[in-house]
Chain A
Amino acid sequence: MRSASRWVALAVGVALVLAFPLVSPNAYILSAAVVILHYAVLSTSWNVVGGFTGYISLGHAAYFGLGAYGTALLITRAGVPSFLALGLAGLVVAVLAVPIGIAALRVRGASFVIVSIALVLILLLVFQSWREVTGGSDGLVVPRPFPELLRPQHHLVFFYLFAALLALVLLAWWTIDRSRFGMGLKAIREDEDKAQALGVPTFAYKLAAFVLSATFTALGGGMYALWFGDLDPVFQFSILIGSYMVLMALLGGVRHLFGPVLGALVVGVALEFFKQQYGDTQFHLVATGLLLGVVVLFMPDGVIPAVRGLLARRGPQQSSIREVSAAELQKERVP
């Protein structure tokens, strides 16, 4: 019964997404939807390492940028067909993520956050100054994969491409979530040393999740390059994009399959709204910062669990074993 209603909800959700381009009134709305889908891909990819292990990377823009530039350069420099270039760029980032992960995952907590940021800043400088290859801040134009398509059709095709990529990343997250591998990752999030003492090869697990996460993020970046068609290091390797991924995942809830998607929807719509309302000001920066603060402080588990908790409190009282145990605790402690 419960699982049946779940399948129905999933089918309705998929149908709504697939039908959206048909009902979307204009090309602008469709392009905004593509942006939101691309956020959902990035945020869900981030959640493969951030959600399961609790290693908060603020620098996932590094893999986004590497995927984007990797795809673009393979097309422009090596003449590789667009989607083959995308796949190859993902592979290259997977290989690069191994040594990066080995170095970065040695430190935990705040130190890991800082290491992850440092990487983005380094890549930003490299891609800005290495003008002969990357075009520096003049940007890099990525040839369109379907030059014959007009703008609305271009958005339409990429809407479905991003939706397919999102489905792939969600499937991967779901598979890990219910697997023994996933249980090991969650044990790391809870207490890494304890997990290792129980026999979980914590470093190998973290690294595998990290590489997978970086690879999916790179595929999101490569797809973005093919869709947007113009790259600039300032936008590709930005702390802001990395922060969005974290914010969206935390907002929606890192323990929930669709948490990051929900977060992407909320933040994506809000960002578009602010851009419409106030133009391209720095206001969205302030809003992002505030939102990140509010979520971390008041809803560390995200919106879904917070709302669930609220509903549970409204609903019929569940007997709390915590109350029982508080009394028992008193009894059991040696005086």
Chain B
Amino acid sequence: MTAGLETRELTKAFGGVVAVDHATVSFRHGKVNALIGPNGSGKTTFFNCVTGMIRPDSGTASYRGKDITRTAPHRVAAAGIGRSFQLCRIFPRMTVMENLLAAVRPQGIGALLRRSGGAADVERARGWLHRVGIDHLEAAEARDLSYGQQKLLELAGVLMAEPETIMLDEPAGGVNPALIDRIAALVRELNAEGRTFIVVEHNMELVMSLSDHVVVFDRGRPIAEGPPADVQSDPAVLEAYLGV
């Protein structure tokens, strides 16, 4: 089994609140992983620590055997990890196409000064917009899109950077059932093409149908992991969710 994203004793406290507490987790590379847990259990903070958005207090994170602890977000992205945000984040005053072009990663000064929106980049962007189903909105300003469309746009932007591992923070949050199905289908397809997923999600139906491997957080620690069916019946998980 190839090593994918792994953390060892990862810890982050905000004042007295230990949001992530000595979390040692390894996700299945090449699979769809789910990260679940009650509200405030540290899932988003865990994402932020791994992707370099916030510095963990202690512990390590590695990706494919390479240490990525306290690595700047753009370097984590360059290492092959893309992510979405819980509260969908796009570039509101750019067009849909520009949102994708902003994710192009040029190498070298010459490439940097070359015109943005060259034929190859635009072609690739259209491909992703088509796949998420908003290619007809290419020229629209992103802030004029509906929330569901913005979520799709964010996903297309993440994909434009061609990450091999994609971390999604509540992709189904606040979107209608039809759209949830579309997003789920897309995750399956992309996974079949070789991309690894780590998905934070509260929609249990979606988690159970989509994922190969589930990690459960409670108060900043992983308390259970395994195939969805096993995790579902784990007493510790039931306790965490029911708050006994």
Report which A residues bind B (CB closer than 8 A). 175-176, 178-184, 186-187, 190-191, 193-203, 320-322, 325-326, 328-329, 331-334
Contacts and interface: CB of A to CB of B under 8 A. Distances in A.
Contacts of A322: 144
Contacts of B114: 179-180
B39 interface: no
A208 to B, nearest CB: 9
Interface residues of B toward A: which range?
35 or more
Contacts of B104: 180, 183
Interface in B22-75: 51, 53, 72-74
9 contacts: A180-B114, A180-B116, A183-B102, A199-B74, A199-B78, A322-B144, A326-B146, A328-B149, A334-B174
A332 B72 CA distance: 35
Given A183-B104, A186-B102, A325-B144, A197 B51 contact: yes
B12 interface: no
A31 to B, nearest CB: 37
Interface of B: 51, 53, 72-74, 77-78, 82-83, 85, 89-94, 98, 101-106, 111-117, 137, 140, 144-149, 157-158, 160-161, 174-177, 179
Contacts of B91: 186-187, 190-191, 194-195
A321 B83 contact: no
A187 B72 CA distance: 17
A333 B174 contact: yes
Interface of A is mostly: helix
B51 A200 contact: no
B89 A194 contact: yes
A329 B147 contact: yes
Given A180-B104, A200-B105, A320-B144, 14 more contacts: A176-B113, A179-B112, A180-B114, A183-B98, A190-B93, A191-B90, A195-B91, A198-B160, A199-B74, A201-B72, A322-B144, A332-B148, A332-B175, A333-B147
B113 A181 contact: yes
Nearest to A200: B74
Given A186-B102, A332-B146, A197 B94 contact: no
B148 A328 contact: yes
Of the candidates A176, A200, A201, A332, the one having the most CB atoms from chain B within 10 angstroms of its own CB is A332
Nearest to B103: A198
Contact of A180 (B51, B112, B146): B112
A333 B112 contact: no
B63 to A, nearest CB: 14
Contacts of B105: 199-200
Contacts of A198: 77, 82, 102-103, 157-158, 160-161
Contacts of B116: 178-180, 182-183
A325 B102 contact: no
A322 B104 CA distance: 27
B98 to A, nearest CB: 7
B14 to A, nearest CB: 17
A251 B93 CA distance: 19
Contacts of A182: 116
| 8 nearest A-B residue pairs (beta carbon) | A199-B77, A190-B91, A332-B148, A325-B146, A328-B146, A187-B102, A332-B176, A183-B116
A52 to B, nearest CB: 12
A195 B53 CA distance: 11
B244 to A, nearest CB: 28
B53 A197 contact: yes
Q: Which of B91, B93, B115 has the most chain A CB atoms inside 10 A of its CB?
A: B91
Nearest to A197: B73
Contact of B113 (A175, A193, A200, A325): A175
Nearest to A190: B91
Contact of A202 (B74, B89, B145, B157): B74
A183 B101 contact: yes
A201 B77 CA distance: 10
A302 B150 CA distance: 27
Nearest to A255: B93
A98 B158 CA distance: 31
A334 B176 contact: yes
B179 to A, nearest CB: 6
A316 B176 CA distance: 34
B75 to A, nearest CB: 8
Contacts of A187: 91, 94, 102
Contacts of A194: 85, 89-91
A108 to B, nearest CB: 15
Contacts of A325: 144-146, 149
